[in-house]
Structure 1
Amino acid sequence: MKIKLKNVMPYITTLLLLFLYVKNVSAEVDYRIENNVTTASIKEDGSLAIKKQITYKFKSQSKGVFYQQNLTPTQSLVDAKVKIQNENQIGRYSHNFSLQKVNSGYHFTVYNHVKPNSRCTVTYFYKITQAITNYRDIAELNFMIIGDNWDKDLDHAKAVVLFPGPVKNIKAWAHGPLNGYLKIDKKKGKITMTASNLDGHVGIEVHTIFPLSVTSKNKNIVDRTHRAFVLKQEKKLSQETNRKRKKIFISEIWLVLIIVLSATSATVLGFTVKKQGGTVHNSNSIPHNYECPSVNAVVAQIMDKVDMPDIRAFTAYLMELAVKKKVLIEDYQKDGTTFYRITLKDMHLISQDPLLAALFNDIGNGQTVTTEEIKNSRGKKVSQKVNHCYIDWRIKSYNEVVNQGLLAEKLIHKRNTNQTIICSLLFLSFGGALIFFFKFSEFRIVMLVVETILLFFGINALVHSNNMISFYSQKGAEITNQIRGFKHMLEDIGSFEMRDVGDLVLWEDIMPYAVTFDLAKKVLKELKIEFTTDEWQQSDFYIHEPIYNFNSKGFYESFNNSLGSACSIGGTSGDFSSGTSGGFGGGSGGGAF
């Protein structure tokens, strides 16, 4: 069968585009620029001899790097050379580079294969003609010495302007990041500018005026005075920078106040809380209690967790009803799957419990309901009713415990309120510290230390506050300690003789608590080891075998899964100025490929 070209062209085009995309993605180079050290030496003819040394740290392999030097139309780049020094190698001059003149300047492409996880230093040497302008009264250099178009930020940047010798009347300004530093050494005829963590799109611009004698052979001459204009221009930029610095300083002060005061307030609030409510202990620190708690399994879970009961608690409730012969639980097979049928023996239950009523009347036939029917109700309208009834049952069960005075609602509210306030204050402090850390890099280490100390005391204050405010009344604390001692006993099943606790009749009463504490499998396993087969068959455990089957086919798992599905539950030195004075070289930068 012939295939027409026009029919397959869309597929070929798609594959080609996909190939180009994958190729482009795979070509991305992972690297950073550790250092950019640029030296510009001023010559008598008004040109600049540039030495630009850039150190790259590659995480992936690279085929080379590139750099573009932007210039004005009247300027030229000549005498270009490139030196390459790979890690653990001696530097060498390379001819394996290309230099192309583009609309905005000159573009270097340096071909040099670099292995992953290694460094490479590329040094560019070249000369820029007509870099300096001689006016009637001064000579001026206005140059973006480190460009503002890098693919990556620069970890460290240093720019140096060298004069032929000492120069008395130098004035210089640097424009770039506000955390940069400028130093003028008139005796050495040297201007030095440094900056750390330089944004790749900021750059460093140097603007300097000096005596005409320095560039006496310069042919780039403008017949007008210029000194007053430069001083006025830089004064304006300096004023703008000072306003920005003042604004930033005020922001820093406010941010520091927020960081310190919020964390301090949280600490004071936490440590000044007085002891309130009954004292409870963790289950592991309480001696074994071998007597069943004075409350049922649902209440026991609520008291232990101080939370609304879950499906395990409701399953335990059904097991208690089965033990009391108010419901009958039987297993049956269907298509190789084990399901369970729950039959009402006490019809008064559905009038007392809306959740049971929803299960038996709305999902079942009024007297029986199966785990299969409960599971299949998922997504149907009836499942929404069951879900609402389940939520209401949880809330009602919890509120009954509160109404009995076992849990102190006022203390719960107070503890939760304190916890919310303290956590909010600590988050506010931490958030402020993060902003400070990334925005004001010069004080990062100080802020890191301060915030660590503040959070240490704040978190300890939170723990202290929680320990001082109990959820329990005195009576509730006594019952909870009994419950946790009983839970501790169940957790340590196997380390003592279970017969000493009681016979199988007593253990039948204990099992719902094991279910609500998620310890049923462990307890049942030890019971079958401890008691003989005859004892087992003569007890109600044998009669209620389906209830106490805790494997993947057992009632516990089946009911949990089914109900869970239904419920969905300028100067000699100084700082940089911001902005730019319009120097050439803007847009210069580079990267790797």
Structure 2
Amino acid sequence: MLTICLVSPVSAKYSLEEAETHITVNPRGVVHVEESVSYVFDGKYIDVHRELKTLPGGSIENVEAHFSDKECELLIEPIQDGYRLIGVLPDPTPERLTFHISYDCYGAVKVYRDVSELNYKLWGGEWEKPLKKFKGSVMLPVKNESEIRYWIHPVDYTREVNVKNDVILVRTDEIPSTQWYEIRAVFPRIASPNPDLVQVDNAAGLEKILAIESEYQKKGLILEDLYSATILFALLVLAFPLFIYYLYGREPEIDYKAISKKEISADSKPAVVNAVMKGNMGIPTIDGFTATIMDLTNRGYISFRNLKPEEKDSSDIQEPGSRDFMVELPDNEKDPQTGRVSTELEDFEEDVLSLLKAHASEGKISWKKLEKELQNGQDSYKFSIAWSKKVQAYTVFDKFFQSTGNVYMYWFARLVLIAAIVYYILITGFFPSKAFPLTSKIYVLTASIGIYGFIMTKYSNAFVTVFGRWTPEGSLYYKRWDNFKKYVTDLSALKKHPPESVEVWDSYLIYAVSLGVAKEMLQNISQIVPPEQIKRSRFHPISCNYYSKSGYEHGNTFSSSYQGGDGDGGAGNIRGGFEENSGIE
């Protein structure tokens, strides 16, 4: 057993170019070993250490060593289990150096009742660098090659092996770092074995050895089959998403005629538009909540006005770029036109109105105060969850989008992940990588499959547009509102086809908020609509904030603390994924 330890600067490097091990077993069973290791140095090194350790019940004698460079000094120190050989290198360190060692091993041969056995590591597993090539020979005390049986472990690194008379010759390709390489040879029993020279076991050994080697070979064949199966499974894992996409991910072809970019469906709730276009599988974002407040304002259930001087706080006076405004609410939910209690509000709209009333004092509350109370309120999160569920139920998202393929992919990915973990554990337990190097390739494949399963499971929402698809109704709905979004954010289109009145602008702004493009629309309004006309808008206080600060953002700042859904999550992916396939100009 050999060990190397190189003491050198961090910047220095070395490599193991070649090694040879030549073993001669004499008729008495004493093993004579001659070894050489060739190094290539890049940098300055102080010394080279090698350790020779005895096998259990054996000993090492007659140790000799020398270097190819005569200027190297050699020290041989006895240690508890053998010897330490230290080669002190000259300065400068030679670029190439070969270390030659020879010694006799006692107890390396085991003599059974029927045969003799040599089980020896030609190359130890303690080396920190890979060995580029190895050459070895084992000479046995036999008359001809028919008396020899031998096995190489692991066979994967062997390039060539053959027997000539009484010598086994072996050559290898590169042996990785920390990897051992050994030979087991069986030959006729040594007559009158000396326990001082060999290990003696009076039991029959050949049958046991053949059984061990047969088991090893069977495992090797099984592992080759498992490797092929792993490759096929990896290909299946890669092909399955394509199959799911083909069945469930392709967008349906619909007869789509140009829809007016200015068209707004009378029954389109802003929260629903937001849930479909920006939300996560029908769950609205905070923009849907804000758009609902504005829709209630546009329908007369709420009103906005500028603050009176006595209603302004000191911070609003000191910071003209952060103007506040007042939100006013009626005492009941009567229809502002008929005077009767309204039956037109959906449950999620009534919840928003009730929430504002709960925070209002004498039917009014400033936007800033509302914002602070929503940020600090302990029930805000519960409300947002309940409200989002009501919008989701009202939306009936399944009629717009089919996520069946994504559901299949999610569960397939979970099964792949679990299977990869279990498979990795089983392979590790039954096929150690040092004895079966092919296991390392299976490790890589299995780990890759497991990582794939983990990513597809954890980020399944990111693939919803790949493995899901819009229904014909959903595709038409999306294209209609995508056209509208492009219209309100396109200054040239607005100039060419401006809305007929400020009231229409107000309706457009509600849906611009719902679609997350309110800032762009307000920027366009500022270049098209005269300020005196904007004053007639129900949302004039909001537009004042836009003009006085950096845009509509201030009027919507409370939304960050009142998130009803993940605006950057899965529904955003639905939107983005559809745009790639919509063909809308």
* Fold shared per TM-score above 0.5: yes
Contact 1:340–1:555 (Cα < 8 Å) also in 2: no
Among 19, 27, 30, the alignment partner of 1:37 is 19
Residue aligning to 1:177: 154
Distance in 1 of aligned mates of 2:13 and 2:163: 35
Give how far 1:126 is off.
0.8
Q: 1:173 to 1:240 in 2, by over 3 A?
A: same
Contact 1:140–1:210 (Cα < 8 Å) also in 2: yes
Residue aligning to 1:75: 60
Contact 2:129–2:177 (Cα < 8 Å) also in 1: yes
Q: 1:46 to 1:423 in 2, by over 3 A?
A: closer
Contact 1:160–1:193 (Cα < 8 Å) also in 2: yes
- Listed as ranges, the matches of 1:255-270 within 5 Å are 255=230, 258-259=233-234, 267-268=242-243, 270=245
- Listed as ranges, the matches of 1:387-406 within 5 Å are 387-402=381-396
- Listed as ranges, the matches of 1:226-265 within 5 Å are 231-245=206-220, 247-249=222-224, 251-252=226-227, 255=230, 258-259=233-234
Distance in 2 of aligned mates of 1:265 and 1:193: 44
Q: 1:377 to 1:471 in 2, by over 3 A?
A: same
Classify the secondary structure of the residue corresponding to 1:208: strand
Among 272, 277, 288, the alignment partner of 1:313 is 288
Distance in 1 of aligned mates of 2:471 and 2:120: 73
Query: Could you list the per-position Cα deviations for residues 519-570 of structure 1 after superposition, in whole angstroms to 9, with x for gaps in the alignment?
Result: 222222233234455555566665543464573794334222343499999x
Equivalent residue pairs, number: 503
Residue aligning to 1:10: none
Give how far 1:290 is off.
2.8
The RMSD of aligned alpha carbons is 5.5
Residue aligning to 1:523: 521
Contact 1:36–1:55 (Cα < 8 Å) also in 2: no
Q: Which amino acid aligns with 2:495?
A: M
Residue aligning to 2:559: 560
Q: 1:33 to 1:490 in 2, by over 3 A?
A: farther
Residue aligning to 1:501: 498
| 2:470 counterpart of 1:488 | no
Among 263, 278, 287, the alignment partner of 1:291 is 263
Give how far 1:334 is off.
4.7
Q: 1:526 to 1:197 in 2, by over 3 A?
A: farther
Q: Which amino acid aligns with 2:52?
A: Q
Q: 1:478 to 1:183 in 2, by over 3 A?
A: same
Q: Which amino acid aligns with 1:186?
A: K
Distance in 2 of aligned mates of 1:227 and 1:430: 47
Give how far 1:212 is off.
11
Query: Could you list the per-position Cα deviations for residues 302-332 of structure 1 after superposition, in whole angstroms to 9, with x for gaps in the alignment?
Result: 2324531111221222233344452326575
Q: 1:245 to 1:528 in 2, by over 3 A?
A: same
Classify the secondary structure of the residue corresponding to 1:318: helix
- Listed as ranges, the matches of 1:41-440 within 5 Å are 41-42=23-24, 46-53=31-38, 66-72=49-55, 74-76=59-61, 78-82=63-67, 92=69, 95=72, 99-108=76-85, 123-130=98-105, 141-150=118-127, 152=128, 154=130, 158-161=134-137, 163=139, 168-169=144-145, 171=148, 173-174=150-151, 176-177=153-154, 179-181=156-158, 183-186=161-164, 189-192=167-170, 194=172, 198=176, 200=178, 203-208=180-185, 222=197, 231-245=206-220, 247-249=222-224, 251-252=226-227, 255=230, 258-259=233-234, 267-268=242-243, 270-272=245-247, 279=254, 289-294=261-266, 295-305=268-278, 306-325=281-300, 326-328=302-304, 330=306, 332-335=312-315, 338=322, 340=324, 342-348=326-332, 353-361=350-358, 363-365=359-361, 367-370=363-366, 372-373=368-369, 376-377=372-373, 382-383=377-378, 385-402=379-396, 407-408=398-399, 412=402, 414-421=404-411, 423=413
Classify the secondary structure of the residue corresponding to 2:283: coil
Distance in 1 of aligned mates of 2:74 and 2:198: 40
Give how far 1:159 is off.
4.9
Query: Could you list the per-position Cα deviations for residues 173-227 of structure 1 after superposition, in whole angstroms to 9, with x for gaps in the alignment?
Result: 3464363447223169342153766472x522223356899xxxx9997599989
Classify the secondary structure of the residue corresponding to 1:242: helix
Contact 2:136–2:170 (Cα < 8 Å) also in 1: yes
Distance in 2 of aligned mates of 1:128 and 1:494: 91
Distance in 1 of aligned mates of 2:562 and 2:198: 93
Residue aligning to 2:3: none
Give how far 1:469 is off.
6.1
Q: 1:470 to 1:205 in 2, by over 3 A?
A: closer
Classify the secondary structure of the residue corresponding to 1:486: helix
Q: Which amino acid aligns with 1:303?
A: V
Residue aligning to 1:586: none
Contact 1:412–1:471 (Cα < 8 Å) also in 2: yes
With structure 1 as the length reference, what TM-score do the two structures score?
Answer: 0.65
> Higher relative contact order by CA 8 Å / sep ≥ 6: 1 or 2?
1
Residue aligning to 1:89: none
Distance in 1 of aligned mates of 2:399 and 2:567: 31
Distance in 2 of aligned mates of 1:239 and 1:552: 79
Give how far 1:292 is off.
3.3
Q: 1:467 to 1:557 in 2, by over 3 A?
A: closer
Classify the secondary structure of the residue corresponding to 2:134: strand
Q: 1:486 to 1:75 in 2, by over 3 A?
A: same
Unaligned runs of 5+ in 2: 1-7, 334-344, 569-585
Query: Could you list the per-position Cα deviations for residues 499-535 of structure 1 after superposition, in whole angstroms to 9, with x for gaps in the alignment?
Result: 5232561333222222222222222223323445555
Classify the secondary structure of the residue corresponding to 2:562: helix
Query: Could you list the per-position Cα deviations for residues 86-141 of structure 1 after superposition, in whole angstroms to 9, with x for gaps in the alignment?
Result: xxxxxx555267543321223345677999xxx98663211112466697998865
Distance in 1 of aligned mates of 2:422 and 2:298: 58
Contact 1:259–1:428 (Cα < 8 Å) also in 2: no
Q: Which amino acid aligns with 2:543?
A: E
Residue aligning to 1:587: none
Distance in 2 of aligned mates of 1:267 and 1:174: 46
Contact 2:304–2:539 (Cα < 8 Å) also in 1: no
Query: Could you list the per-position Cα deviations for residues 372-411 of structure 1 after superposition, in whole angstroms to 9, with x for gaps in the alignment?
Result: 545555786x42x221221122121122121xxx7428x6
Q: 1:348 to 1:77 in 2, by over 3 A?
A: farther
Distance in 1 of aligned mates of 2:136 and 2:530: 92
Contact 1:339–1:372 (Cα < 8 Å) also in 2: no
With structure 2 as the length reference, what TM-score do the two structures score?
Answer: 0.65
Classify the secondary structure of the residue corresponding to 1:481: helix
